[in-house]
Amino acid sequence: MHTKSDSEVTSVDQSWPARSPRRPLYYVQSPSNHDVEKMSYGSSPLGSPHHYYHSSPIHHSRESSTSRFSVSLKNPRNLSSWKKLHQSQHHDDDDHDDDVGDADQGSGHNIRLYLCFILLFVLLFTVFSLILWGASKSYGPKVLVKNIVFENLNIQAGNDDTGVPTDMLSLNSTVRIVYRNPATFFGVHVTSTPLELHYYQLSLASGQMKKFYVKRKKEKKMVVVVSGHQVPLYGGVSALGNARQQKQNVALPLNLTFVVRSRAHILGSLVRSKFYRRIRCSVTLHGSKLGKPANLTHSCLYN
């Protein structure tokens, strides 16, 4: 029975036409972990005895993409490297943002420090300037009118500018003044208003003091000419009624007035202090004492 079946199989095989030889089958096998490690270290996949690659470029591209995907999934080292790279990128971005934020905060903090420093400097400078200014007030200048000398006195008849006849007075005198600056840390620039001799409200003579500068703890002596020329009297000076005939008997009460203005530059032009001295001296013009100094040391008021 066994023999019969063999013969039948043989006959059947012989009756069928000869088949074309079968093509060998190809299998795509994912690389193992050990192979992936070799690939990760640069070994070529062709060197493995378990891999066979088709010469077709399409099949090769499919196989390479599949291999890459399988490597990325199966190789824990590559996954950890990719995660570390991703985390390092995020960490670098965060560090950059933190650096930018820290730089902004640092610049803002520096600006606040500068503003505080400027305000503190202005405050300290203001306080220092006020201290200097207050201290300078205790060093007011000293003005002393020592004497006046009436050089000559002349009264004669004449006409004013409009042609009205009246007595005309000419007077010449000199005033000696001592100015002292007691300050220890600043000098002063000094000016004054015109020095005027008045008979009540009538101005008989005037003179101008020149500008000058006095250093600290120094003094200056001055001589100011106070004169009047052809001043119309219009009969307003009764004491001069007999002056043309008897000049020696003239006793004319006069007032000498002027204002001394002092300006101190304590700290350059930033801190300045001003002083005013209003001076009023009472003096009597005696016709018999012309050319002689009249002492005014105790005859003046200083305000």
Domains annotated on the chain, with CATH: 140-302 (2.60.40)
Q: Which amino acid is at 152?
A: N
Q: Is the pLDDT of residue 80 over 90?
A: no
pLDDT confidence tier of residue 212, bands split at 50, 70 and 90: very high
Q: Is the pLDDT of residue 6 over 60?
A: no
At 38 the pLDDT is 45
pLDDT tens, residue by residue, 180-196? 999 988 999 999 999 99
Q: Is the pTM above the cut of 0.75?
A: no
For residues 117 and 171, give the distance between their C-alpha atoms in angstroms, rounded to a whole number. Answer: 65
Mean residue pLDDT across the chain: 76
Q: Retrieve residue 150's tokens.
A: 């009436």
User: Taking the CB of residue 81, how many other CB atoms lie within 10 A of it?
Assistant: 12
User: Taking the CB of residue 220, how many other CB atoms lie within 10 A of it?
Assistant: 14
At 61 the pLDDT is 45
At 15 the pLDDT is 43
Higher pLDDT, 17 or 286: 286
- The number of residues in the chain equals 303
For residues 183 and 101, give the distance between their C-alpha atoms in angstroms, rounded to a whole number. Answer: 57
Residue range 158-185: mean pLDDT, rounded: 91
Most confident of 22-26, 256-260, 271-275: 256-260
In order of 101, 169, 253, 277, 283, the CA distances from 298 in angstroms are 79, 28, 16, 16, 11
For 4-13, b/e burial (b = at least 16 CB within 10 A) is eeeeeeeeee
At 51 the pLDDT is 43
At 275 the pLDDT is 95
Give the H/E segment covering residue 119: helix 76-136
Nearest to 178 by CA among 226, 141, 132, 137: 141
At 132 the pLDDT is 83
At 242 the pLDDT is 66
